[in-house]
Structure formats: structure tokens, C-alpha cells
Chains A and B, each alone.
Chain A
Amino acid sequence: MAATPVLPKLVGERVRRREDPRLIQGRGTYVDDIKVAGMQHLAFKRSDIAHGRIRSIDTAAAAAMDGVEAVFTGAQIAEMLAPMPIGTPFPSPPHRAVAADVVRYAGEPVAVVVACDRYVARDAADAIVVDYEPLPVVVDPELAMTGKPTVIHPDFPNNLAVPFVPSGTGVSADGKTVDDSAIEKAFAAADVVISQRMVNHRLVPNAIEARGVVAHYEPGKEAMTIWSSTQNPHILRTMIGAMTGMGQDRVRAIAPEVGGGFGSKINIYAEEYVAAVITKKLGVPVKWVEDRSEAFVATTHGRDLIGYIDLAATRDGKVLGLKMRLIADIGAYNMLLTAAIPTLTMLMANGSYDIPAIRATLTEVFTNKTPTDAYRGAGRPEATYFLERAMDMLARELKMTPAEVRRRNFIPANKFPYATQMGAVYDSGDYERALNRALEASGWDTLTAERDAARKQGRLVGLGLAAYVEVCGLGPSSSLPTGGWEHSQVTVERDGRISATTGASPHGQGNETTFAQMLGDQFGVPIEHVTIRHGDTDVVKQGIGTFGSRSQAVGGTALHLAGGKVKAKMAKFAAALLEAHEADLVFENGTIAVKGVPASAKAFGEVAAYAYVPVPLPEGLEPGLSDEAFFEPANNTYPFGCHIAMLEIDRETGEPKLLKLIAVDDAGNLINPLIVEGQIHGGLAQGIGQAMVEEAVYNEDGQLVTGSFMDYALPRATDFPTFELHATTTPTPVNPLGAKGVGEAGTLGSTPCIVNAAVDALSEFGVTHIDMMLRPERLWRIIHGGRA
């Protein structure tokens, strides 16, 4: 008998992404590839002004065009569709999918055309004439807070979406009573206080695939299928089921291949609701595919948070207290998670530090801009940026090294789990180890010597460091209005192949690979025998979705638990076949055998076949090998790390150039280090992008002046040095995998460490802070005598 090949262990290995060949060869099916017989195309007429009252809207010319099926104004859509719901417990003004009376940002839909093809639809949209009474525009949130020059929503005086939320030391659980004595005492006792206003500016998420939706109502079945480029098809199904009145049992939502989201495809958008009500009304399938110009204004933006930061410390660098006054510019409306995003900044105000007293406050403000929502990191990069810049300023003030001031304040490794001032319970961590690793891996002392030598030659070289901790693996249901669990079903098919579903809906995360690795190991079968299905609510029974770096920690655990149930049942069938005790069985190399008796091995497929034709049926067993699990974690996970940047600024031009980026990230146990590194690369690219090249800029009229890639820079490969990645491993006790999540981590440490490096590079000019992004002209002005 030939020796059974020994299957390699998969978990923890650098397995190449199984989904890549089809994606990079153009063989994926995205929303725009979906075609349904009789399909009509939608085009939205969008407001070209930022604030105005619709006096009249003339659709006659559009409706008369050949190929135009129908035109709906906002008022007509409102007859079919209630205002769009949000997913946070904050009060919110009514938000119509298509504006009926007032437009509040440039790009807001005012009418929608249904036509035979995309070209006719677009021509017809252009033929719609809207007469506006212009209203004053406000784009500066701190001006908007005064109620001048306009109030965007009448029931929200001074444009305050969320007037004032206090958090931290001395705030009661309900937020109603606030005792400032501890924070006041901390500042009174301080030897040094750092105070700085910082802006964490607005970004455009720019997924490579813009959004799109196909909605197909079948009157005979009274059922709807809706394909959408979304991060969370189950939430889409819930919302479409509710808003159409059809019920979730009649709606099938499908996220086919999704070309990135970065948080911007969590929200359920106007175009999805409108497509659903139009297909239902007309009885024909409809498609809408966003073009890039639309995506810049019609898809949610990210960040846009002002922080007034005060840090109180002793002269030996011990932080006594932190004040963080936050003002979030959320744009014109609340979207699904908009209001919750800046609360994550408050939640993470402690950062990596044991800070005795913290007072964070949050005000959210409406302005005449595209609404914001989650963007990779979602609230945590903002917290990290504010705190790590302030810590750097403290180090500079006290003439300490950036490492030393952090070391003196880290939460010690023996204090985990650690309950923060902000209400988080950090699961596990060893922040000093990550710092030490980063210092060692970067050769910090050598880099410092190189920097100093370069400065002697007149070059402007700087070093920056940032520590971070983030909240991932979202999260218990108490922290997520959608529910904080994830679901999976694992089936061993009759031929021994394994099909599994996950409610996490990957759109670049590589779960078809990582989850197959897990099941391959769990069942002792080759990865080629495992298929992971996702994205179709008719296939995947339940789910929440992919965001908040939760796929592995929450979705992976649900998969692991479901797999465990099936494996236990399969062991019972195998025990019957082998006349052995199930506890004595091993699953390995495509067989199930009695431990220590390889000759007893039954092929995995043979046991599977028996389970589906169980003659005889073992007592107490049902046929079949399929089971499911919901997993709800008891807590979030808290990955952490330390990033270091070396940067040079051209003295003549002010152009910054990133010379080095060293990242130490601790995401707990890793299923696939190759995919983890890919995730970190992507996160770094976006974190560096924010620090160095990306900025959404509005003019005073509320026009997005960076509305195309001609003016909105995305970082390119040529903008980066080779990233130097390192890891420490601190497993989480929150889930049995020990995995914390990593999708967003790269955006946390990179942004502040780069700005810290830029400030260091310009230290000879007495600079203590520079607002991002690092515009060459801004840096040039510092170098050449002006102010930033």
C-alpha cells in the first residue's frame, strides 16, 4: 500500500490567495457584469449646488426622449419610499433618498431617469432642468456651529447633529452627570501642558470599483433580488426588506465580487433604495453603476475631525491628564454609521497609555458637504493621530526621546485585561515589546546617527515614531446596532468536499483562502477540497458583514465553531464505521483513523458518503454532515503596534519624501502572514496617503475642488519605500483563535509617525506641529520663513 501523502499544515502558513487568479485575469463577476433580460438603466440628476431650495423641476424634455421609460422627481420617489433610516441611536433629520425640497450638498440626487441604456439615461438626466433658490453655504464646521450663515436642518439649531457628548473620567454611565474634579486636578498638578488644535482632514475612500446596484423584482414571485457592491449584503437585505415593505424573506441580496470598500460600502445608499422601489413599481429589472465623478461626491467620505488636544504631564514625562475636544464635520446628513464613527475616537482616547484622567467631548456638525461615514480605521486613526502627535510634542518639550516618553506611560503588560477611562476593556497587550521591536528592527540609533549626519550636510531629515492600539473584531451586540455576531455554516458534502458559508462578506480580505486554511487543518483535508461561499443571502443564511477588522476574529470563529460541530458529528459516523471510540480518532491527510493505528484509516470521503447513506444509522444520529454556528464575542479585540518613519524634505521645494517605514503590528495569532502583510501594506498606503498626498478640499461654495484624480492624489507605488514589516504575537483571549484582526491597522500608526517625522525634519525652524496633508508649499513656507 502506497504511503498516504502527508498534508502540510495550513494555518499560520503563507498560502497564496486562491481568489487572485480570477480577479487579476478579469474573470470576476462584479455588479456591472450582471445582466438581466429586459434590464433598464438608471441615471441620477444631481444637485450642482451645495445648498438651495428647489423652486421647480422640469422633466418634460427628459421624459420625451427616445428610450426613456420613466423619470421620477424627489417628490415622486417620496411617495414610494420613506426617509432613509440610520443605524445609530442619535437623532437625525429626515433624509430623502432623492431630495424633494432642499438640496444640502453638491451631488445630492434630485431626480432619477429610467432608460433603455446608460447613455440615454445620462442624456436624459442632463435634459432635466432644475431651478434653485440658492441658500447660504457653510463648509467650515466651527463656523457652522454658530448657526451662521445658515441652518441646514431646521430642527438642528446651530447645525449641531450631536450637540455635546462627554466621556471619560467622572462621567456617569448614562453620560448625564459629569464630574470634572479629577481632570482639573491633573492639569493643576502638571509641570507641563501641551495644547494644540489639530485637523484630521477629509478623505475620499476611492474603492477601485465604484458602487453599483442591480435590482430585479419578480411580480409573479413577489420577490426581489438585489445585487450590490456592498460590504454587508445581509444588512442590505434587512433594510430593503423593511423599506419596500416586502419583508426579509422575500428579498435576496447578493454582493458579487466587490472591488474594495474601505468602509464606504457599509452604508445602505439612496441608489440602492431607489433601484428597489423603481423595479417594484415598474416590474422591470434596473441597473445603476456609479461613475467615478459621481463616486467622488455621492459615496460617503471619511475622517474630517478637528481635535483640541491638551496633555498635562510631569516634567519627567508622566502624563497626568488628557483633554480631547472633538468637532466632527459629518457633512449634510447622517448615514448608517456616521454619528458613531467619532465616538470610536473618544473610545480610544487612552491609546496605549495608562492615563489617570481623561475628558473627551464630542460635537458633530452638519455642513454642506458629502456625508461622512466609516473609512478604514474609522475613528481610531483619528484618536491615534491626536494622541501620538501630542505625545511627540510632549517629548520635544521635555527633550526626551519619543520612545522614552511613551515607555513611561504605556499600560504595563501585566495590567491586562485593562479597563480604560473611556469604557473599553483592552483584552491583551504588550506595548513595550512592540516598541522595543520597532526600535530594534529599524535600527533607531543608527537611523538617528544617519539623520544627524544628513543634517550636517544641510538636509532636512526627520524620524518619527507612533504607538497605536485599535479596537477591532466588532463586537458584542451591545456595541453594534446591527448585531455584533457572525454566522457560518459548514457542510461536508457527500463526496468529502467541504462547503462553508460566512456572513462576513469579503471584498479584498482573502477569506476564501484563510477560512479554507482553517477548515483544511480542522478536517485534515487539502485546501483544494474546501470552498468558502459568501455574499449571497440565499446561500449564506445569516450574517452581519465585513468591517471593523472583524472577519477573522468574529467570522473566523463562527466558522471554527461550526466546523467543530460537524467534525464532532463526523467522528461519530467514523467511530461507527471503525468500531472505535470517537475520542480516539484523528482527522489527517484526508483520512480518519484510530490514533496510533494508521492501518485503520478510512478515507475522508468514505466516511462522508456513509453519513449521507447511513446504513445502518448509528443510534442517536441524524443523517448528514452540516451544521452552523453564530459567534458573539464577549468583547472587542485590541490589536496594537508601533510604526517608525524616516522622511526627508527638500529644502528648496518643500517636497517630502518617505525614506523608510518600519511597522510592527500585533494582530494576535495569524492565519496567513502573507495576507496579513498584504492588508498592512494596503493600510499603510492609505495611512501614508492621508499624511502626504490625499485631501478632499471644498471651496466656500461647497464645491469639491478635488473631484477627480487630476486633483485628488492617490498614493502610487513610486511614492513608497519598501515597507519593513515585523510582528509581535499577543493572542487575544476573546476568541478561541487568538486572532485580533488587522485590516485597518496600517492606517493607525503610519499617519502620525510620518507627521512626527516631518515635524522632526523641520525642527530647526522651531516648528512643533504641522497639519496634514504635507503639502510641499506648506512645508516650503515653513522653511522659507513664513508660517505653516
Chain B
Amino acid sequence: MIPIAFEYIRAASLDEAVAKLKAANGGGRFIAGGHSLVPLMKLRLSEPKVLIDIARIPGLAGIGERDGRITIGAGTTHHDVATSKLLQERCPAIADTAAGIGDPQVRNRGTIGGSIAHADPSADYPAVMLALDAEIHLKGPAGWRVVKAPDFFQDCFTVNMAADEIIASIQFAPVRSAAYAKLKQRASHYAIVGVAAALGVNGGRITSARVGLTGAASYATRLTRVEQALTGQPAASDTFEKASQVAGEDLAGINSDLHASADYRRAMIKVFTKRALVAAAERSG
């Protein structure tokens, strides 16, 4: 539990952070809350030479709404997302998700940008990012770039980011009728299976549906067959029951570990899809 020696730099701006990362020549890592990185460093599974602290970059943390879109700064802690009045009112699914991450210590330090960049296959946020069709705003030496969530999560701990880019913020149009449901691993409280659903409901009918899945495979993905089975259908329990039956049916490479076999995970995808759909629909009223 003792990391190797490393250098520590605190960045004052995004530009400085990006420049320092470049200067570190591949040996640098950004650190914000450190709740993914530091445990790996203590186990010597990650051995960065330089840590560039981005936690105090002005403006990197914060939650706001403009022109009907919500922006969450990458440095915003899980606790601040969980307790944001704006999010609880306009998009409670993401506040709920944050409230269920890890434990209070993790939520007080860990950040949304750090979690998404790390892309742990069992992390909670990626499912919600997919359901909200969030945009990930990245800053790099060449300027800004925006990646949609479905294009962002690419593989286990692998995202659509260049080595010299940094996440500045997450932006999305809030959806009130959205919810996240997870089967938590009882030691870590990570998701064995986590499903986020965002529904558009008009006159009792589902007009749009986005469903994101995490924990089940090596990276978070949309459950497009579920989405198709929902669209145009009445927002009723029969619909959710039926749609959840196709959840994960075409998913390959389902994880199997000490806590859950692939069979069990496969079954839980359906259970938690249904739960997320029902909870999302309950918020549409």
C-alpha cells in the first residue's frame, strides 16, 4: 500500500494541465479526487511519475443550466451531484446515481470527470451518460472536442480521448423521467449490473427511450433492442416487462467473476432494466 515516488504538480488552468501532461512525456496522470487512481498507485498497479492535480482549477467544478442544457464540470464531486437541487429537480436519475456510488468518503472526493475518464466497467455513471445522451467536452492541445457518450466508452478502461486531452465538462438535456437501478457488489458497491433508462412519454405513450447498461460487460453500452421495443408503446408495466426480456440478449462478452457468473448477470440485466424502466416511468407523471 505504498506507491512509488512521484512528482506532484498543481495546475491552475486547463491549458496548464494539458501542457504539464504533455511535458511529462507519457509519465503523467491527472488527479482530481484520486479515488480510482490512488488505490491503484498504492497497489503499484499504476506508477505515474508525475501527478497533475486538477482539482483546484477554477471553474472545473460546478453545476449549471443554460438554454435547457445542464453542464456539470468535470471536477464536480459525486456528493455535489447527489445533493444538487437543480439535478434533483430536473434530472433526478443522475443525482440518485451519484448518491449510490461507493461510500461517503468516495463521494466527497471522487469526481464525475475522473469516473468517466477512468471508465471502470462497473462504474455507475457511464450508464447514465448513455441514457442522457450526454456530451463529453474535451480540451486538448489542438482545442476543444465534443464526444457523445455512445462514442466515448470504447472498452475496458478505454475511452475516446487522446493521451493529451482532458475532460472539461459533461453536458446534457435533462430528462425528468429517467432512473438508474443497480445490483450492487456487496463489498465495493460497484455495479454488478446497472441500468439507466430515460424515457420520453407523451399522452401515456413512449415517444423516445434511451437505455444504458454498465457492469455487465467490458464497457457501458446502449440497450438498443430494448429502446426499439419501447418506442411507440404505452408506458405500462406490460411494455416494460416485455421490453426488458430482450435486454442484453444480443450482448456478447458478459463478465463473470467471484461475485456473479455470466448467467446470473445476464438474468440481472433483464431484472434491472425493468426496474429502471418502471422507476423512470413513475417520474413521467
**Closest Cβ of chain B: how far from A1's Cβ, in Å?**
56
The CA of A126 and the CA of B267, in the complex, are separated in Å by 43
How many A-B residue pairs have C-beta atoms within 8 angstroms? Tell me: 52
Q: Is B1 an interface residue (CB 8 A)?
A: yes
| B183 and A123 within 8 A (CB) | no
**Closest Cβ of chain B: how far from A135's Cβ, in Å?**
25
Task: Give which listed residue, B39, B43, B261, contacts A777 with CB less than 8 A.
Answer: B261
Task: Give which listed residue, A119, A652, A713, A714, contacts B2 with CB less than 8 A.
Answer: A119
Query: Provided the pairs A693-B186, A693-B187 are in contact, do residues A705 and B1 lie with their beta carbons within 8 angstroms?
Result: no
- Cβ–Cβ < 8 Å partners of A293 in chain B: 1, 43
- Cβ–Cβ < 8 Å partners of B258 in chain A: 697, 705-706, 711
Q: Is B142 an interface residue (CB 8 A)?
A: no
**Closest Cβ of chain B: how far from A706's Cβ, in Å?**
7
Query: Provided the pairs A710-B188, A777-B260 are in contact, do residues A292 and B271 lie with their beta carbons within 8 angstroms?
Result: no
Interface residues in A115-144 (C-beta closer than 8 Å to B): 118-119, 122-123, 126
Closest to A781 in B: B264
The CA of A123 and the CA of B5, in the complex, are separated in Å by 9
- Cβ–Cβ < 8 Å partners of B4 in chain A: 123
- Cβ–Cβ < 8 Å partners of B37 in chain A: none
- Cβ–Cβ < 8 Å partners of A652 in chain B: 271
Q: Is B60 an interface residue (CB 8 A)?
A: no
Q: Is B85 an interface residue (CB 8 A)?
A: no
- Cβ–Cβ < 8 Å partners of B5 in chain A: 119, 123
26 A–B contacts, CB within 8 A, in A order: A119-B2, A119-B5, A123-B4, A126-B44, A291-B1, A293-B1, A293-B43, A652-B271, A653-B183, A693-B187, A697-B258, A705-B258, A706-B187, A710-B187, A710-B190, A712-B187, A713-B186, A713-B187, A716-B103, A777-B259, A777-B260, A777-B261, A777-B264, A780-B267, A781-B264, A784-B267
**Closest Cβ of chain B: how far from A775's Cβ, in Å?**
8
The CA of A705 and the CA of B2, in the complex, are separated in Å by 20
Closest to B275 in A: A652
| B183 and A655 within 8 A (CB) | yes
- Cβ–Cβ < 8 Å partners of A765 in chain B: none
Chain B positions 206 through 222: 1 when the CB is less than 8 Å from some CB of chain A, otherwise 0: 00000000000000000
- Cβ–Cβ < 8 Å partners of A291 in chain B: 1-2
Closest to B183 in A: A653
Q: What residues of chain A have their CB less than 8 Å away from a CB belonging to chain B?
A: 118-119, 122-123, 126, 291-294, 652-653, 655, 693, 697, 705-706, 708-714, 716, 775-777, 780-781, 784
Chain B positions 50 through 73: 1 when the CB is less than 8 Å from some CB of chain A, otherwise 0: 000000000000000000000000
- Cβ–Cβ < 8 Å partners of B128 in chain A: none
Closest to B44 in A: A126
Q: Is B268 an interface residue (CB 8 A)?
A: yes
The CA of A534 and the CA of B37, in the complex, are separated in Å by 41
Please report the total number of B residues contacting A with Cβ < 8 Å: 21
| A292 and B183 within 8 A (CB) | no
- Cβ–Cβ < 8 Å partners of A122 in chain B: 2
The CA of A418 and the CA of B232, in the complex, are separated in Å by 75
The CA of A291 and the CA of B43, in the complex, are separated in Å by 11
Chain B positions 1 through 27: 1 when the CB is less than 8 Å from some CB of chain A, otherwise 0: 110110000000000000000000000
**Closest Cβ of chain A: how far from B278's Cβ, in Å?**
12
The CA of A291 and the CA of B2, in the complex, are separated in Å by 8
**Closest Cβ of chain B: how far from A201's Cβ, in Å?**
14
- Cβ–Cβ < 8 Å partners of A119 in chain B: 2, 5
| B187 and A711 within 8 A (CB) | yes
Closest to B1 in A: A291
| B44 and A780 within 8 A (CB) | no
- Cβ–Cβ < 8 Å partners of A653 in chain B: 183, 268, 271
The CA of A652 and the CA of B241, in the complex, are separated in Å by 13
Chain B positions 228 through 267: 1 when the CB is less than 8 Å from some CB of chain A, otherwise 0: 0000000000000000000000000000001111001001
Interface residues in B189-209 (C-beta closer than 8 Å to A): 190
The CA of A396 and the CA of B5, in the complex, are separated in Å by 61
Closest to A294 in B: B1
Closest to A293 in B: B1
Query: Provided the pairs A126-B44, A653-B271 are in contact, do residues A780 and B264 lie with their beta carbons within 8 angstroms?
Result: yes
| B188 and A711 within 8 A (CB) | yes
Closest to A693 in B: B186
The CA of A712 and the CA of B185, in the complex, are separated in Å by 10
- Cβ–Cβ < 8 Å partners of B268 in chain A: 653
| A709 and B187 within 8 A (CB) | yes
Closest to A652 in B: B271
- Cβ–Cβ < 8 Å partners of B2 in chain A: 118-119, 122, 291
Q: 18 more A-B contacts (CB under 8 A) besides A653-B183, A653-B271?
A: A119-B2, A123-B4, A292-B1, A293-B43, A653-B268, A655-B183, A693-B187, A706-B258, A709-B188, A710-B39, A710-B187, A710-B188, A711-B259, A713-B186, A776-B183, A776-B186, A777-B259, A784-B267
Closest to B43 in A: A293
The CA of A709 and the CA of B267, in the complex, are separated in Å by 26
Q: Which of A292, A776, A780, A784 has the most CB of B within 10 A?
A: A776
Chain B positions 25 through 58: 1 when the CB is less than 8 Å from some CB of chain A, otherwise 0: 0000000000000010001100000000000000
Q: Which of B2, B5, B39 has the most CB of A within 10 A?
A: B2
**Closest Cβ of chain B: how far from A613's Cβ, in Å?**
56
The CA of A781 and the CA of B267, in the complex, are separated in Å by 11
The CA of A653 and the CA of B2, in the complex, are separated in Å by 38
Closest to A119 in B: B2
Closest to A292 in B: B1
The CA of A434 and the CA of B2, in the complex, are separated in Å by 50
- Cβ–Cβ < 8 Å partners of B186 in chain A: 693, 713, 776
The CA of A312 and the CA of B208, in the complex, are separated in Å by 64
- Cβ–Cβ < 8 Å partners of A709 in chain B: 187-188
**Closest Cβ of chain B: how far from A435's Cβ, in Å?**
32
- Cβ–Cβ < 8 Å partners of B188 in chain A: 709-711
The CA of A652 and the CA of B269, in the complex, are separated in Å by 11
**Closest Cβ of chain A: how far from B268's Cβ, in Å?**
6
The CA of A733 and the CA of B183, in the complex, are separated in Å by 52
- Cβ–Cβ < 8 Å partners of B1 in chain A: 291-294
**Closest Cβ of chain B: how far from A602's Cβ, in Å?**
56
The CA of A393 and the CA of B125, in the complex, are separated in Å by 45
10 A-B pairs with the lowest CB-CB distances in the bound complex, closest first:
A291-B1, A713-B187, A122-B2, A713-B186, A777-B264, A652-B271, A710-B188, A693-B186, A711-B187, A293-B1
**Closest Cβ of chain A: how far from B40's Cβ, in Å?**
11
- Cβ–Cβ < 8 Å partners of B103 in chain A: 716
The CA of A709 and the CA of B1, in the complex, are separated in Å by 13
- Cβ–Cβ < 8 Å partners of B271 in chain A: 652-653
The CA of A294 and the CA of B1, in the complex, are separated in Å by 8
Interface residues in B79-111 (C-beta closer than 8 Å to A): 103
- Cβ–Cβ < 8 Å partners of A780 in chain B: 264, 267
**Closest Cβ of chain B: how far from A453's Cβ, in Å?**
23
The CA of A630 and the CA of B255, in the complex, are separated in Å by 60
- Cβ–Cβ < 8 Å partners of B183 in chain A: 653, 655, 776
The CA of A288 and the CA of B183, in the complex, are separated in Å by 40
The CA of A125 and the CA of B99, in the complex, are separated in Å by 40
The CA of A292 and the CA of B39, in the complex, are separated in Å by 12
The CA of A706 and the CA of B259, in the complex, are separated in Å by 10
Closest to A699 in B: B258
The CA of A664 and the CA of B58, in the complex, are separated in Å by 57
The CA of A201 and the CA of B264, in the complex, are separated in Å by 23
The CA of A780 and the CA of B5, in the complex, are separated in Å by 46
- Cβ–Cβ < 8 Å partners of A716 in chain B: 103
- Cβ–Cβ < 8 Å partners of B261 in chain A: 777
The CA of A775 and the CA of B258, in the complex, are separated in Å by 10
The CA of A713 and the CA of B188, in the complex, are separated in Å by 7
The CA of A122 and the CA of B103, in the complex, are separated in Å by 29
**Closest Cβ of chain A: how far from B98's Cβ, in Å?**
17
The CA of A757 and the CA of B169, in the complex, are separated in Å by 49
The CA of A292 and the CA of B1, in the complex, are separated in Å by 7
**Closest Cβ of chain A: how far from B226's Cβ, in Å?**
17
Closest to B261 in A: A777
- Cβ–Cβ < 8 Å partners of A708 in chain B: 43
**Closest Cβ of chain A: how far from B181's Cβ, in Å?**
11
- Cβ–Cβ < 8 Å partners of A123 in chain B: 4-5
